[in-house]
Amino acid sequence: MTSQSLTPSPPRHTIAAIATAPGRGGIGVVRVSGFELMALTHALIGKSLKPRVATLATFLDTDRETIDQGVAIYFPAPHSYTGEDVLELQGHGGPVVMQSLLRRCFEVGCKIARPGEFTERAFLNSKIDLAQAEGVADIIEATSAAAAKSAARTLTGEFSANVHALTRALTDLRMHVEACIDFPEEEIDPADHRALQSKLKEIRGLQAALARRSKLGAILRDGVTVVLIGAPNVGKSSLLNCLAGDEVAIVTPIAGTTRDHVRATILLEGVPIHLIDTAGIRVTDDEVEKIGIARTWSAIEHAGAALLITEAGYATAANELEILGRLPNDLMVAVVHNKIDLLGSQYVSRETRVMESSARSLQVSAVTGEGIDALRRWLLEVAGWLPSAEGVFLARERHLLALDEAAAHTSKAAALGEQLELFAEELRLAQLALSSITGEFTPDDLLGEIFGRFCVGK
């Protein structure tokens, strides 16, 4: 896989797609992007359009019969979303009408737009950088108001501005270092070395701050997957329903009711927590139940945390200790003593020697809701969310990897002392890593992967 310092030129053909969601709606939009759209516009609506003026128009088929009547808006290049000539046809949002209008666009020379191709062209025409382009998809896919707000920061360029500020700081430092290298006959003042290290320390502080905000944004995007495990009939499904605020799992007194995963996603402070209720773990001769238990262990392997549900007031069972002992060492675990409502005011937390040494202990009632707030706080703690988190960016994994790579190179630079040639090279590599975030240096196959995940028409 090669890297490029210049982005490829956008294709010259004209593209079209329905830009509104499938199904019926009050308004539907067909978007067209390309160059020299006047002939196409005349074929579609029989007249020219004033730039950026909403014009009442009749959309015409090949026989000059009416397809629909709506509003047409023409955005000439370069002052458009894609940086090309853009025509938006806003009609009635019926599927048949939209498909007929799109088919008419194909008849006059348009090609179907690939998923994300409008935004890809905006990137290739330097209307937005790659991080902003990803922000477009993120704001569409946001699952909470907090995630949408964070995505908007990326879309409007706030994240990119922070990256560019770091890149400029590294460039300035490189210029200073390379100036020193260019005059080897002159002895470098020790004060200059201290100034270089001081500036690098400042840059590393900015890197760390940006990484923190980005990692919190990644939490808003992805959240954490939490499995509910334990023996049958300890209240796993009831607890799932309590956390979800809905009857998403079947609850009966019959052991082995849950045979397969039951999933629910809740939002805590805007953070998605993906809960998986699993089959109760026990020794059984039931072949179907065995399959469910095997799937439970598979879910545990891919989870970020686990709630081991036990029944309050009973001594630690051997199978509970066995379950705890089989859990991955790096898995965050809380032992949740459920059904404390059955024990009344006399209940005191039981001793769980082995469990308490490796897991958080929580006492709850899925029936009354007692202790559920403490459980929610633990889930946020596991996710890595900070109560005071503000101004976060909805970063993607590739952003975090690039930030980590840049931090690794500046860390190496800090350890090099007076070896200026190597110092400068580490700064250059850090700069390249940061530039990959905004798309100045982009792997050839990355663009297709990013934009291929967009919805059609965007």
- Of the two residues 259 and 309, the one the predictor is more confident about is 309
Residue with tokens 């929580």: 362
Lowest mean pLDDT among 160-174, 257-271, 303-317: 257-271
The torsion region of residue 154 among left (phi > 0), alpha (psi -120 to 50) and beta comes to: alpha
446 within some domain: no
Reported as a single tens digit per residue, the pLDDT across 151-185 is 888 898 999 999 999 999 998 888 888 877 766 55
pLDDT at position 348 is 47
Residue 207 shares a structural domain with residue 311: no
Element (H, E) at 227: strand 224-230
Q: Identify the CATH number of the domain in which residue 175 sits.
A: 1.20.120.430
369 within some domain: yes
Residue 157 shares a structural domain with residue 122: no
Two tokens at 391? 């101004």
390 within some domain: no
The pLDDT-based confidence of 90 (bands split at 50, 70, 90) is very high
Residue 248 shares a structural domain with residue 378: yes
Residue 157 shares a structural domain with residue 306: no
Reported as a single tens digit per residue, the pLDDT across 405-422 is 999 999 999 888 778 888
Q: Once rounded to an integer, what is the mean pLDDT over residues 327-355?
A: 69
Q: How far apart are alpha carbons 358 and 333 in whole angstroms? A: 8
Residue 83 shares a structural domain with residue 179: no
Tell me the range of 116-125, 288-297, 325-334, 340-349 where mean pLDDT is highest.
Answer: 116-125
pLDDT at position 314 is 66
Closest Cα partner for 210 from 438, 417, 444, 447? Answer: 438
Q: Identify the CATH number of the domain in which residue 102 sits.
A: 3.30.1360.120
Distances (CA, A) of 61 to 18, 19, 67, 92, 98: 17, 20, 6, 16, 13
Element (H, E) at 93: strand 85-93
pLDDT at position 258 is 46
450 within some domain: no
Residue 361 shares a structural domain with residue 411: no
Residue 245 shares a structural domain with residue 332: yes
The distance in angstroms from the start CA to the end CA of the chain is: 27
pLDDT at position 305 is 86
Distances (CA, A) of 38 to 44, 45, 111: 10, 10, 17
Residue 205 shares a structural domain with residue 251: no
Q: How far apart are alpha carbons 198 and 260 in whole angstroms? A: 57
Residue 236 shares a structural domain with residue 201: no
Q: Identify the CATH number of the domain in which residue 349 sits.
A: 3.40.50.300
Q: Is the pLDDT of residue 350 over 50?
A: no
Q: Is the pLDDT of residue 347 over 60?
A: no
Range of the domain at 7: 3-129
The torsion region of residue 424 among left (phi > 0), alpha (psi -120 to 50) and beta comes to: alpha
- As a whole number, the mean pLDDT across the chain is 82
348 within some domain: yes
The pLDDT-based confidence of 444 (bands split at 50, 70, 90) is low
pLDDT at position 259 is 45
The pLDDT-based confidence of 76 (bands split at 50, 70, 90) is very high
Q: Once rounded to an integer, what is the mean pLDDT over residues 301-309?
A: 83
Q: Is the pLDDT of residue 345 over 80?
A: no
Closest Cα partner for 453 from 119, 31, 9? Answer: 119
419 within some domain: yes
The pLDDT-based confidence of 252 (bands split at 50, 70, 90) is very low
Residue 345 shares a structural domain with residue 425: no
Residue with tokens 């209240």: 235
Q: How far apart are alpha carbons 22 and 352 in whole angstroms? A: 54
Residue 163 shares a structural domain with residue 307: no
- Of the two residues 224 and 186, the one the predictor is more confident about is 224
Residue with tokens 């060492």: 329
Count of structural domains within the chain: 3
* Cβ within 8 Å of residue 437, ≥6 positions away: 130, 131, 160, 163, 398, 399, 402, 403
Of 95, 129, 163, the position where a domain reaches its end is 129
392 within some domain: no
Q: Once rounded to an integer, what is the mean pLDDT over residues 415-437?
A: 88
Residue 228 shares a structural domain with residue 374: yes
Of 129, 163, 186, the position where a domain reaches its end is 129
136 within some domain: no
pLDDT at position 445 is 65
